[in-house]
Amino acid sequence: MPTYLDRILEAHRAAAIEAPREPTPHPGARGFAARLRDAAAGGEIAVIAEIKRRSPSKGDLDAGLDAAAVAADYERGGAACLSVLTDHAFFGGSAEDLAVARAATSLPVLRKDFTVCEADVVEAAAMGADAVLLIVAALSDAELARFHHLAGEVGVDALVEVHDEAELERALVVGATLIGVNQRDLVTFEVDTRRALRMAAAMPAGVVAVAESGIAGPDDAAALAEAGYHAVLVGETLIRAGDRAAAVAALRTARRRTLA
């Protein structure tokens, strides 16, 4: 039986454009990784606050949200960066959500989507994203290396997402210095809230480490900060919060060791 990841990747690969548009450097990239490093250098755990309308496993979270208003709330709460879902079929997102969220704030923005071809990387820069997501589990070694290099060419950062030590090693081989540990299993979509803690010791010095998924509040952020993570990427918890700015601010109370 096809998994969530199988279905999503099949749809994205079917729609993939083989020939990328001419790679043009992002004219005004805001420095996604640099913003996280700046926060971490001050001992603060950075919050990457996500704009997410729905989930394939949980359905609608806030299908009618105003992306600009949500982004402004996140910035008011002290978020370091934004993450915006642009997949429409499975997450209800769009390139327009990313554009309006970025225009409403001064924050760097991650295009949260399933990157499966060079055109996806070039398109991310063209739509104004400051970072692109590369999921190791969804890519071959050759694709991972090629897309990571292309991200640098077009002037956007690459958040390379892993789920275990083997995937972490693959990320390091291509030179990734911004690495996210996703606690959500992309096959079952179940969350293992201990995964990031287990993998913390495997992160080499100098890597900006991001914990993703399953972060329910300040206690979780504090545990991840203590383990050495520099940032947390939080979606559902913030989207469901009654006061989104306050929810971001609460996550930021976690302190961490100074970035090596």
Residue 19 predicted with pLDDT over 60: no
Residue 78 predicted with pLDDT over 80: yes
Mean pLDDT of the chain: 90
Q: Which two tokens stand for residue 247?
A: 């929810």
Contact between residue 241 and residue 70 where contact means Cβ atoms under 8 Å apart: no
> Looking at the DSSP assignment, which residues form a beta bridge with residue 158?
132
Residue 53 predicted with pLDDT over 70: yes
Residue 180 predicted with pLDDT over 50: yes
Model confidence pLDDT, tens digit, residues 203-216? 999 999 999 999 99
Residue 95 lies inside a defined structural domain of this protein = yes
Residue 140 lies inside a defined structural domain of this protein = yes
Residue 247 predicted with pLDDT over 60: yes
Tell me the percentage of the chain whose pLDDT exceeds 90.
74
Residue 133 predicted with pLDDT over 80: yes
| pLDDT, mean of residues 50-64 | 87
Q: Determine the length of the chain.
A: 260
**Looking at the annotation, which residues are catalytic?**
50, 52, 112, 161, 182, 212-213
Residue 26 lies inside a defined structural domain of this protein = no
| pLDDT, mean of residues 158-175 | 97
| pLDDT confidence bin for 134, thresholds 50/70/90 | very high
Residue 137 half-sphere exposure toward CB, CA atoms < 13 A: 17
113 vs 52: CA distance, rounded Å: 11
Domain count within the chain: 1
Residue whose tokens read 């690969």: 13
Residue 29 lies inside a defined structural domain of this protein = no
Q: What is the CATH number of the domain that holds 175?
A: 3.20.20.70
Burial class (CB in 10 A: 0-12, 13-18, 19+), 241: middle
Residue 24 lies inside a defined structural domain of this protein = no
Q: Which domain holds residue 117?
A: 4-14+44-251
| pLDDT confidence bin for 3, thresholds 50/70/90 | low
Model confidence pLDDT, tens digit, residues 86-132? 998 888 899 999 999 999 999 999 999 999 999 999 999 999 999 99
Q: How far is CA 145 from the centre of its chain?
A: 18
49 vs 77: CA distance, rounded Å: 10
34 vs 40: CA distance, rounded Å: 10
Residue 55 lies inside a defined structural domain of this protein = yes
Q: Which of 72, 56, 45 is nearest to 8 (CA)?
A: 56
Model confidence pLDDT, tens digit, residues 208-244? 999 999 999 999 999 999 999 999 999 999 999 999 9
Q: What pLDDT is stored for residue 18 in this prediction?
A: 59
Q: What pLDDT is stored for residue 10 in this prediction?
A: 67
Q: What pLDDT is stored for residue 199 in this prediction?
A: 95
Residue 25 lies inside a defined structural domain of this protein = no
Residue 74 lies inside a defined structural domain of this protein = yes
| H or E element that contains 251 | helix 244-251
